[in-house]
Amino acid sequence: MTTDSIPVVRTTCQGAWWRGLPAGLAAFVLLALVAGPAWGMPQEAAPEYRALPFISSRVLMWAVAELHLMFAAFVLAVPMFALVIEFIGYRTGDKRYDQLAYDFTKLLSVSFSFTATLGALLTFGLLVFYPALTQYLVKIFSWTFLPYVLLFFLEAFFLYAYYYGWGKLSPRLHLFIGLMLNLVGTAIMFIANAWLTFMNTPNGIDDMGNLTSLWEAINNYTWMPINIHRLIANVAFGGAIGAAYGAFKFLGAKTLAAKAHYDWMGYIGIFVAICALLPLPFAGYWLGVEIYAYDQSLGITLMGGTFSWLFIVQAVLIGNLFLAANYYLWLSMARIPGAERFRGFIKYLLGVITLCFIVWATPHSLVATVEEARAMGGSHHPILNVLGVMSAKNTAVNLLILTTYVSFLLYRRANKEATVSWARIGNWIQFGIFAVVVIYVVFLGVYGYFVDAQTRIGLSRPQVLSVLFAMASVTVIDLFLFKNAKSRGEIVWGKISARSQYALFFLAITFTWLMGLMGYVRAGMRQHWHVYGVMRDTSVDAFTPTLGFAGGVVSAIVIVFFLLIAIVFFLAGLSGRKDWTPKSGSRWNEEETTVSTEPA
Amino acid sequence: MNLFVLLGIAAVMVLIQQVLTRWIQLNRIAWLGIWWVALWAAFSYGINPPLPNSIIVLFMAIITIALMAYLSADNEELEEARQSIVRFMVAQEYRIALVIVLLVIPAAVAAWTYASMNEAPQPPSSGRTIHPPPPSSITFAGNSIDLATANNPYRELEHTDEAAFAAHVANGRRIYFQNCFYCHGDNMQGAGMFAHGYDPLPANFNDATTIAMLQESYLFWRIAKGAPGLPSESTPWSSAMPAWELFLTEEEIWDVILFLYEYTGYEPRAQGMPH
């Protein structure tokens, strides 16, 4: 594949550092106008809350915080895989990887400005609308603010140095800057995570809420699980948005070379997203276990109480994610010669995915009419009941992950024919590993119904480890199995249906929706507490919104996010356009002609 | 499971594949349609007691998406399916069949509408939350009990003084049969003599998803505070559970909790642990 015809202009994105400034100032002025009357009043006791006309301040802060989080996740994730791709390009000397990493990086500068602007808006909003809460959090975490701000400056420096230094700096220095960008970005996220996890699972304080240990407050029950969960989820999210950008460019590409490049970009983006998606349920499960361990009330609110229905919505979205990811891989086989011999497997893979999807999405408490409930003998169906609990869910998600891995394995093998003498035995060993692990995972799932809750929770660990073992060992065998393999033909990048690109859009939207939904659940499970068990929410909004309202707000946030991402895509795409030239006969042309013909 | 129906559906599928296809060539769309109908029939009539309609709709939505994905996962198959639809719409030989289909679709919709309008009126169904979240602490006889850290004070006797533990369990048994079994039943299946009068039905403690998943402090809260102590979120709870703090002592409530676990054979969920 060549990238000669892919237009890359690296000098048209100048001045990006100040893009966030006018928007930030505008936000400040807006908030000043809203809060102006309160600020102008004589000094009395500071109010605990301030209200907005037309819209609840809670909904506004909800939307701003979520949008900030989405852009921050994207800005943190893209440098991670961009750096890896750049490193591959550096090691192999293949310029295509360098170009691909740069294409992903192009999305960063505007996104970083949006992140900063939304972050400023969030900070101002907290100060104006929730002054008492902000004051309390400042009291607890004041020592963390200085490193946070310093790291933020460093992130700005490294991010723009990484972007503008592309091709200008030595490759090693550039890679080092990319590494520093990742480390600084991760450290920023860890600090911010300490603040928000403290609100859910406060620690390091006395009975009166006074700080006794800053480290304990930071290292609360959910800090590290959230750090890990977000780190992985950010990569999945960033990969999916990057893939959507590839799909956007693919659909608008005019040349075969451009189509090939953006097809490849979409594939790499979604490959990154799927790789991160596979361990994500395990990280989520760990977070859930920690929440339960901190306080059963929070755990029950989350999984069995008020928010349990949102987990059914989550299950439907995750099931769709797995289905769409597999669907994309199956469609991708069209570009690989020799893949047709694996088509017959699709129906079996789809069968397993559908079955696991159904188990994953089956609620524990059913929506039933009185008549239906009486026929069932209560709120629980005697057969479906067993599918509604964690033993079944864990088994289903582990099998979903294994099935997706098999789809990828088939994709990887599509144009290869093993030439090693032990190929047949190797295949049987791989099949044996899969069979044993599947039986073991199902056995543990069933066994979970016959043991106490603590043992059942512990069973998830061998399930996860056995699935990871299967994927790792089969991959290692596969690498040796297809070493010096005979090729059935090169992958024809760009030879793929438009449906696959819409699948990439679907994946990006679903990831974003899921993120918005789970973000709401994580914050909302505190219910009428700002800081759980320490600082009560006494505002007029101290109630849990209905599921429909919450779903509507999350959906609106997702729409706004994609409108903003469309701007990011548009601006990133400008750098690839040709320089503007006046049309012949236009006023601009005439002026230029006039100037050039004037005597010196 | 209604095995008779499920076997019948499987037999029809085998018949279609082995016998019908000798005379009629079925394309992929037809096969997917047959699979859809077969699965719908299996979910609707093959499981006993019947699944609620909301679950059938959820399952069939997933299956529809999966079948659509299968149809479109292969470019050649999709093109063939598209061409067969176009052929059916425009070819002279299918004109009568097309007219029949065009008449059957609105007729089926009309029949479905008629049937649903003739169903007996029912109160609207709603998603009910089963596990109410407990507060962080409660007061019992003037004393505050922290539910996050409270333990059954008699649980440790199980290992230190078996006779004393057995006495507490026996006391719990007495209390249960004096107060609880009228609703929760003599074998704790939620089928006591008053159970038929309640909606929702009393909790079934033999179900692995009730007390087996909960800490003892949670049970203490539910027994002590009953329906009046349920949280304001996720209402209406529709619970008839009395507040037993008005009738029982703290020790009696812990004893009856010991008995519930002893009788069902479940272990209570442990507190804390990971971090």
Distance, in Å, from the CA atom of A281 to the CA atom of A400, rounded to the nearest integer, reads 11
With tokens 């008995």, the residue in question is: B259
pLDDT digits (tens, 9 = 90+) for B113-156: 999 888 877 777 666 666 788 887 899 988 899 887 888 999 99
CB-nearest to A350 from B58, B66, B217 is: B66
Q: Which helix (H) or strand (E) holds B146?
A: strand B143-146
Minimal Cα distance from A219: which residue of B?
B275
Question: What does the buried/exposed string (b/e) look like for A422-451 if buried means 16 or more CB atoms within 10 Å of the residue's CB?
Answer: eeeebeeebeebbeebbebbeebbeebeeb
- pLDDT value for B275: 55
Environment class of A185 (CB within 10 Å of its CB; exposed 0-12, middle 13-18, buried 19+): buried
Q: Helix %, strand %, coil % for chain B, to 5?
A: 60, 5, 35
- pLDDT value for B147: 83
Q: Which helix (H) or strand (E) holds B162?
A: helix B162-175
pLDDT digits (tens, 9 = 90+) for A291-305: 988 887 888 888 777
Residue B208 has pLDDT above 80, yes or no: no
Distance, in Å, from the CA atom of B71 to the CA atom of A572, rounded to the nearest integer, reads 36
Minimal Cα distance from B35: which residue of A?
A351
Best mutation target among A298, A354, A527 (most B Cβ atoms within 10 Å) is: A354
pLDDT: is A356 or A378 the higher one? Answer: A356
User: How many angstroms separate the Cα of B15 from the Cα of each of A452, A488, B21, B26, B32?
Assistant: 46, 40, 9, 13, 16
**Any residues with CB less than 8 A from the CB of A198 and at least 6 apart, and which?**
A137, A140, A141, A217, A218, A220, A223, A531
Q: How confident is the model at residue B272 (pLDDT cuts 50, 70, 90)?
A: low
Domain-wise residue ranges, chain A: 15-31+47-318+505-577, 337-490
CA-nearest of A226, A279, A231 to A464 is A279
- Per DSSP (E only), the strands in B153-238 are none
Compute the Cα dihedral for B26, B28, B33, B38 and give only its sign: positive
- pLDDT value for A589: 63
- For residue A167, the 8-state DSSP code is T
Average pLDDT for chain A? 86
pLDDT digits (tens, 9 = 90+) for A312-327: 888 899 999 999 999 9
Distance, in Å, from the CA atom of A388 to the CA atom of A365, rounded to the nearest integer, reads 8
CA–CA min distance A375, chain B (Å) = 6
CA–CA min distance A184, chain B (Å) = 26
ipTM: 0.79
CB A430 within 8 A of CB A438: no
pLDDT digits (tens, 9 = 90+) for A532-584: 989 999 999 888 888 899 999 999 999 999 999 999 999 988 876 777 777 77
Whether A377 and chain B come into contact, CB under 8 Å, resolves to yes
**Six token digits for residue A11:** 């000098």
With tokens 């529809």, the residue in question is: B64
Q: Using the beta-carbon criterion (under 8 Å), do B233 and A343 form an inter-chain contact?
A: no
The one-letter amino acid code at A595 reads V
pLDDT digits (tens, 9 = 90+) for A404-438: 999 999 999 998 998 899 999 999 999 999 999 99
Domain-wise residue ranges, chain B: 3-117, 137-264
CA–CA min distance B46, chain A (Å) = 12
> ∠ CA A291-A296-A297 to the nearest 5 degrees?
105
CB-nearest to A305 from B72, B132, B273 is: B132
Q: Using the beta-carbon criterion (under 8 Å), do B52 and A368 form an inter-chain contact?
A: yes
Q: Using the beta-carbon criterion (under 8 Å), do B54 and A297 form an inter-chain contact?
A: no
Residue A2 has pLDDT above 70, yes or no: no
Residue A160 has pLDDT above 80, yes or no: yes
Share of chain A above pLDDT 70, in %: 89
CA–CA min distance A306, chain B (Å) = 6
Q: How confident is the model at residue B215 (pLDDT cuts 50, 70, 90)?
A: confident
Q: Using the beta-carbon criterion (under 8 Å), do B54 and A367 form an inter-chain contact?
A: yes
CA-nearest of A437, A438, A440, A459 to A448 is A459
Compute the Cα dihedral for B129, B135, B136, B138 and give only its sign: negative
CB-nearest to A350 from B59, B70, B207 is: B70
CB-nearest to A368 from B125, B213, B214 is: B125
Q: Using the beta-carbon criterion (under 8 Å), do B208 and A384 form an inter-chain contact?
A: no
CB B181 within 8 A of CB B235: no
- CATH fold of B137-264: Cytochrome Bc1 Complex; Chain D, domain 2 (1.10.760)
Share of chain A above pLDDT 90, in %: 60
Q: Using the beta-carbon criterion (under 8 Å), do B133 and A306 form an inter-chain contact?
A: yes
Q: Which helix (H) or strand (E) holds A594?
A: helix A587-597
Q: Using the beta-carbon criterion (under 8 Å), do B55 and A454 form an inter-chain contact?
A: no
CB-nearest to A533 from B136, B217, B271 is: B136
Whether A424 and chain B come into contact, CB under 8 Å, resolves to no
CB-nearest to B69 from A323, A343, A376 is: A323
Question: What does the buried/exposed string (b/e) look like for A213-243 if buried means 16 or more CB atoms within 10 Å of the residue's CB?
Answer: eeeebbbbbbbbbbbbbbbbbbbbbbbbbbb
Whether A475 and chain B come into contact, CB under 8 Å, resolves to no
Minimal Cα distance from A449: which residue of B?
B208
- Per DSSP (E only), the strands in A142-300 are none
- For residue A417, the 8-state DSSP code is E
CB pairs under 8 A between A and B: 190
Q: How many CA atoms lie within 13 A of A457 on its CB side?
A: 20
Q: Using the beta-carbon criterion (under 8 Å), do B52 and A381 form an inter-chain contact?
A: yes
- pLDDT value for A154: 96
- For residue B126, the 8-state DSSP code is B
Best mutation target among B2, B44, B70 (most A Cβ atoms within 10 Å) is: B70
pLDDT, mean of residues A341-357: 93
Residue A531, classed as helix, strand or coil, is strand
User: How many angstroms separate the Cα of B166 from the Cα of each of A452, B162, B259?
Assistant: 21, 6, 9
- pLDDT value for A372: 82
Q: Using the beta-carbon criterion (under 8 Å), do A306 and B130 form an inter-chain contact?
A: no
Contacts of B275 in chain A (CB under 8 A): 221, 290, 293-294
User: How many angstroms separate the Cα of A155 from the Cα of each of A108, A161, B88?
Assistant: 12, 10, 61
CB-nearest to A378 from B125, B133, B204 is: B204
- pLDDT value for A23: 45
- pLDDT value for A40: 47
Say how many residues make up chain A: 600
CB A125 within 8 A of CB A49: no
Environment class of B2 (CB within 10 Å of its CB; exposed 0-12, middle 13-18, buried 19+): middle
Of the listed ranges A70-79, A521-530, B132-141, the least confidently predicted one is B132-141
Environment class of A84 (CB within 10 Å of its CB; exposed 0-12, middle 13-18, buried 19+): middle
Residue A212, classed as helix, strand or coil, is coil
**Six token digits for residue B195:** 């159970």
**Six token digits for residue A487:** 């090729």
Q: What is the DSSP string of A548-582?
A: HHHHHHHHHHHHHHHHHHHHHHHHHHHTTSPPP-P
- pLDDT value for B226: 93
CB B248 within 8 A of CB B175: yes
